[in-house]
Amino acid sequence: MVRHSANAILLIATNPVDVLTYAGWKLSGSPESGHRSGTILDTARFRYLLGRHFGIDPQSVHAYIIGEHGDSEVPVWSLANIAGIRLREFCQHEDLPTMRRRCKQFRARRGPQL
């Protein structure tokens, strides 16, 4: 690919994105490995689910899924926040016993499924 177009952009939009992006880079002959993230969609889903759970616009939810796309990805609960308020603190602003229980139930239900 580089031989025909040095400025070409190779876009990989499939699963497994990490493996196929690596293969595409190797086959293209490009000296740069490019950028890839197999967790962007799962991060968006995670933010949506948190927003829906708390009744908040997902644009105000900041949370991330990290790792390689698939079984090894994990939600980063310790950094999750709503409008800059850590999730643990946000849960405490509500009816404390109810919100703690709901947070734990949500985490138990949603964490492994993402």
**Residue found under tokens 């070409």:** 8
Q: Name the catalytic one among 4, 53, 69, 93.
A: 69
**53 is an active site residue:** no
Kindly list the catalytic residues: 69
